[in-house]
Amino acid sequence: MRDAERAQANAQEQDAELSAAKAREQVNAAGIAVARASLERARLDLLRTTIRSPIDGVVIRRSVELGQTVAATLPTLFTIARDLSDMRVNASVSEADIGAVRTGQRALFSVDSYPDRAFEGRVLEIRKAPQMMLNVVTYTVMISAPNPDGLLFPGMTADTRIAIEERRNVVVIPNAALNFRPRGASGAELCG
């Protein structure tokens, strides 16, 4: 009987060892699952460390430095100009003149960098939100300006004129012709 008891005790001991081995295997499997999840999270975090632009363009302002930690609370990391071949001019038009401005009108402007050159564009949009500075109310007029030569840069100051009305096939005379005085005539004789 002793052999039977020994065999039974041995079987129970091996059964306990088997149960312990299975438990260790489950713990190891759980540890492996946790390690895999941590690895996937680290890979995802690594992918998120690279900032990619949603558009192609030229970086015109950078608010962060290489290696700097950024947070979602930063309002702007980079300012990117999508296409510098078609620029926008933000013109401030006084409230006295805004009533005559319409979309599609021709606009001429110059910039300090090229004082002898006139650039041409078209009125795209008239913004309705007034801006007040020094008790003067102005409205922003967006002007589209082709820039095929790349001469215009963001932030340039422009002196703008909007053509309110244009006439074609009209006779133009010099202003001097309107002030014609025959020789020897005085101003009093002409008014008299």
The mean pLDDT values, 10 residues at a time, for the chain of 192 residues are 75 79 79 87 82 74 78 74 83 93 94 92 94 92 92 90 89 80 63 44
CA-to-CA distance for 57 and 37, rounded, in angstroms? 37
CA distance 35 to 125: 57
Q: First vs last Cα of the chain: how many Å apart?
A: 155
The full DSSP string for 118-143 is EEEEEEEEE----EEETTEEEEEEEE
**Per-residue confidence (pLDDT) for residue 187, from 0 to 100:** 55
The yes/no answer on whether domain 84-161 falls in CATH 3.30.110.70 is: no
Contact 107, 49 (CB under 8 A): no
Q: If residue 7 lies in a helix (H) or strand (E), which one and from where to where?
A: helix 2-47
Q: What is the pTM of this model?
A: 0.56
87 and 109 in contact (C-beta within 8 Å)? Answer: no
Give the domain ranges of the chain: 1-50, 51-82, 84-161
- CA distances, 169 to each of 108, 116, 120, 172, 177 (Å): 21, 27, 21, 9, 20
Q: What per-residue confidence (pLDDT) applies to 188? A: 53
CA 22, CA 187: separation in Å to the nearest integer?
Answer: 121
What is the model's pLDDT at position 117?
92
Q: Tell me which residue of 91, 191, 175, 181 sits closest to 140, measured CA to CA.
A: 91
Residue 189 pLDDT:
52
Q: Please tell me the predicted confidence (pLDDT) of residue 180.
A: 67
